[in-house]
Structures are given as C-alpha cells and as structure tokens.
C-alpha cells in the first residue's frame, strides 16, 4: 500500500517563536503517526533544524525543505544545496511548487536538475505539478500536467520513481479558498497515475503517493482524501493553524 501523507507547506510565514509554538501544539496531538501514514513539515530553511529536533525519534513525522539549488555546492550566494539538506538528515524537499515556477521562473529543465541533485543526494523530492486557470478553462489541463511530469521526471528509472511523491496543485485553487471538487481531484490524480503506468507499469504507478494541494482544510480533507487516487494533501494556509492541520492529519485514508 502506498503511503498516505499530510504535508504542511508553511511557505514564508511565521517567526521562530510562532513556528516553535505551532510544532509543539501539533505534537501534543500526534506523538507519532500510525503505520502507512506520514506527516511532513516543509518549513523555511532557518527553522529546519528546530523542527528536525522536535520530530526526532517520532515515527512517521518528518521535516522537509521547500526548495533546493539547481547546482551543487559552490559560489552561489543565497542558495541551499541538496547535499546540505542531506548533511542535516532532511529526508524531503519540495521541488517545482507553482510559486517557484511563477515568481522565480523555474522551468521544467531547471526542475529536472533539482530533482536529479536531490535524488543523487538521497533527499526525496515532493514534486509539484498543476495548471493555471486559463488552461483549466480551455480544458487542456491533462495534457499540460502530463507535459510537466514527462519533461522533468521521465528520464528517471523505475526504481527511482517507485514510492515517489507527486503533489497536484491546480494554481487556481491555491490560497484562493476555491478547492477543486473531490471529483476533479480524483480525475486528475487518476490521469497522473495512468501517465506513470504507461511509462513504468501499473505496479510502479501504484506505489506513487499523489497528494492534492489547493485550499485543503480540516472541513474538506476527508472528502478529498477519500478518493481512490488521492493519497493525502500538500497544505498551505491551513497548515499554519494547529487544530486545522491536526484535523487534516486525522483525515488521511485508513
Ligand atoms: P493553500 O492550502 O494555502 O491553498 O496552499 C496550497 C499550496 O500551495 C501548498 O503547497
């Protein structure tokens, strides 16, 4: 059975005190995760070690970075490499979030390099894809998302794709309060799985955890996560409120 995952993406929010308080409140409710479930906290770089420390020894709870450099170590002021993340024992890194694609002009080629560097370092990518509103309105979202995935990931081996994590985040649903319906999410997630199945076979495709992101909250999580191809969520705004995120963790498929 593939992993069911509640992933928090704090983005560029919270001060250190607020971040510590949020982690402590969540950990009061969840000392560890049940078998087959994971909670992942993608936090700003300066908070990684604090979060890592609070999560150490707790089953199924992990820290993640929100980004890594597209190069190895060197004279790249302000960047953080996948090797540095590995050196801190950070197991996960978000790659290709739509905010990185849009505001920092990261294209599929850059994201290929980041993915390769993360995998080479032994840090598992949480690879994001998703279409903007005009693509959804034109009805070409399946082709659009397929291209994001094939251009950045299809050079990888079946072994590398086994157990991979994909996050589908329709851009029109991020931070807008507008969620894709659970049926829209399921339709895209099934399409994504079929794209991987065509290249890597059913067993590999079935091992991929595909998370939904875009205005997930405690109130809608169970409906969305209940769909057969939705394996949890990548959560922005609601991950900054302990009761909300705990509600989302509680909503993972049993
Ligand atoms: P919201 O949950 O705030 O819509 O953000 C989704 C997201 O971008 C998570 O990566």
Q: From ligand 1's centre to the CA of 242, what distance in Å?
A: 15
Closest residue by Cα to atom 2, ligand 1, is 236
Q: What is the pTM of this model?
A: 0.97
**CATH number of the domain that 142 lies in?**
3.20.20.70
Integer Cα distance of 18 and 161 in angstroms: 36
Per-residue pLDDT tens digits of the chain, which is 254 residues long: 899 999 999 999 999 999 999 999 999 999 999 999 999 999 999 999 999 999 999 999 999 999 999 999 999 999 999 999 999 999 999 999 999 999 999 999 999 999 999 999 999 999 999 999 999 999 999 999 999 999 999 999 999 999 999 999 999 998 888 788 999 999 999 999 999 999 999 999 999 999 999 999 999 999 999 999 999 999 999 999 999 999 999 999 99
Q: Which domain, by its residues, includes 88?
A: 4-250
Q: Are 112 and 152 in contact (CB under 8 A)?
A: yes
Q: From ligand 1's centre to the CA of 74, what distance in Å?
A: 32
Q: From ligand 1's centre to the CA of 75, what distance in Å?
A: 32
Cite the DSSP H helix spans in the chain.
16-29, 48-55, 82-87, 98-103, 108-121, 133-138, 141-153, 158-161, 182-200, 202-207, 218-225, 242-250
Count the domains in the chain.
1
Pocket of ligand 1 (CB under 6 A): 9, 97, 169, 174-175, 213-216, 234-238
Contacts of 118 (CB under 8 A, 6+ apart): 68, 82, 85, 93, 95, 124, 125
Tokens (6 digits) for 87: 């050196």
């Amino acid at each position: 059975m593939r992993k069911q995952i509640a992933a928090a993406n704090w983005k560029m929010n919270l001060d250190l005190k607020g971040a510590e308080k949020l982690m402590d409140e969540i950990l009061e409710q969840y000392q560890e995760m049940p078998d087959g479930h994971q909670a992942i906290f993608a936090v700003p770089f300066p908070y990684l070690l604090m979060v890592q420390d609070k999560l150490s020894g707790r089953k199924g709870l992990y820290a993640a970075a929100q980004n890594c450099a597209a190069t190895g170590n060197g004279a790249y002021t302000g960047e953080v490499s996948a090797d540095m993340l590995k050196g801190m024992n950070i197991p996960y890194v978000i790659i290709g979030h739509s905010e990185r694609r849009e505001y920092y002009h990261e294209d599929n080629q850059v994201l290929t390099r980041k993915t390769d560097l993360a995998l080479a370092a032994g840090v598992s990518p949480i690879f994001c894809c998703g279409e903007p509103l005009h693509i959804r309105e034109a009805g070409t979202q399946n082709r659009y998302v397929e291209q994001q995935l094939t251009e950045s990931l299809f050079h990888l081996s079946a072994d590398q794709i086994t157990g991979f994590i994909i996050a589908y985040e329709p851009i029109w649903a991020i931070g807008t309060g507008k969620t894709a319906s659970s049926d829209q999410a399921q339709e895209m997630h099934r399409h994504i799985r079929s794209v991987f199945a065509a290249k890597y076979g059913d067993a590999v495709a079935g091992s991929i955890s595909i998370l939904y992101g875009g205005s997930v909250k405690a109130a809608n999580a169970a409906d969305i996560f209940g769909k057969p191809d939705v394996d949890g969520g990548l959560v922005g705004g609601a991950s900054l409120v302990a009761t909300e995120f705990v509600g989302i963790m509680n909503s993972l498929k049993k």
